Amino acid sequence: LAGNLKNAVLHDVAASGWDDVVDPDIYEHMMSPYEPVNDTGSYPGLRQGYSGPTATVLRRGDSPVALFFYFMPTVLWQHIATCSNDYHREMLPRRVDDAYERYKKKQRRNSDLPRKTRRDVQQEMETMKPIMPHELCRFIGLLVARTIQPNREKLSNHKKLSNHWKETDVGAISCG
């Protein structure tokens, strides 16, 4: 219901029911001459000028790394790392409970596992190092690298795994 419906309209529909859908005459519409639509008044804040890269982006356009850091500045990496670490701390009690329940199930199946209390599990999870901004940057870089050149080697196949250690290009597989 995208329109601005008043209560009176809704009460009328509830009392009288829905109107039958009127199908438009498609043949008449297709035979009418084309009339271009003028939407300039529909979007008053829409920019009508140049729509392309700005001068600052063009100055950095020679280097993919410079362009990357223009759109993903260092301050953003720091903010993402801070928010991720805050989220980790907020969700820690819930994750500790889940991890402790999983450990108890695992311990029931395998009695040789050492006994752990909820506090032991919590201490293990609290010792995780916080996320650093440069780690996020490296992670995104690896994602981009794998997108550009996917690793299609199967680790279970010894012949293809040996291609990973080659020092020269083999067909479409680059060295290393």
Kindly give the confidence (pLDDT) of every residue in the chain, 176 residues in length, as a single tens digit, with 9 standing for 90 and above: 456 667 777 777 777 877 776 787 888 888 888 887 777 777 777 777 788 888 999 999 888 888 888 998 999 999 999 999 999 999 999 999 999 999 999 998 988 888 899 999 999 999 989 999 999 999 998 888 888 877 655 444 555 555 555 666 655 555 55
Number of domains in the chain: 1
Read off the pTM: 0.53
- The verdict on residue 146 lying in a domain is yes
Place of tokens 């859908």: 21
- Structural domain for 94, as ranges: 68-151
Contact 153, 164 (CB under 8 A): yes
- The verdict on residue 106 lying in a domain is yes
Distances (CA, A) of 128 to 89, 93, 148, 162, 171: 11, 14, 31, 35, 42
Place of tokens 């500045």: 73
- The verdict on residue 97 lying in a domain is yes
